[in-house]
Amino acid sequence: MREQGNIFQVWHIFLLAGFDNSGTHLYEIYPDGSMSEIKDFISSGSGSPMVFGILESTYKENITVKEAEDLAIKSITASMQRDSASGNGIDVMVITKDSIKKTIQKKVPTMAF
């Protein structure tokens, strides 16, 4: 999807996640219709350098749901505090074989300069 304004063109990248008989899956879908299956974690956008720094140093295989939620909050909070385009809220969705539920929804104060 592309949004056009007077100066900027913004490209949106979509994430698709789900669970089937073979386990949990995460896909990144690009504007041209192509997609990649993601095996561990993904971030996109202007705040992603901050997010990747935390994810690459902290993520581990077989992470628990609670650890993953905490890691998501830490990563996104770091991005929001250093990148004004990252927004000021976090929504965390947990997908398991039993359910899909929003577990966290909150506004996060950003640093004042």
Residue 106, pLDDT score: 82
**DSSP for residue 97:** S
Domains and CATH numbers, the chain: 2-107 (3.60.20.10)
| Residues contacting 55, CB < 8 A, separation 6+ | 41, 43, 71, 75
Q: What is the pLDDT along the chain (113 residues), one digit of tens a residue?
A: 555 555 556 667 799 999 899 988 999 998 888 999 999 999 988 899 999 999 999 999 999 999 999 999 999 989 988 888 888 888 899 988 888 899 888 886 666 55
Residue 41, pLDDT score: 93
Residue 35, pLDDT score: 94
Residue 4, pLDDT score: 54
- Outline where the chain has alpha helix (H): 48-58, 65-82
Residue 26, pLDDT score: 94
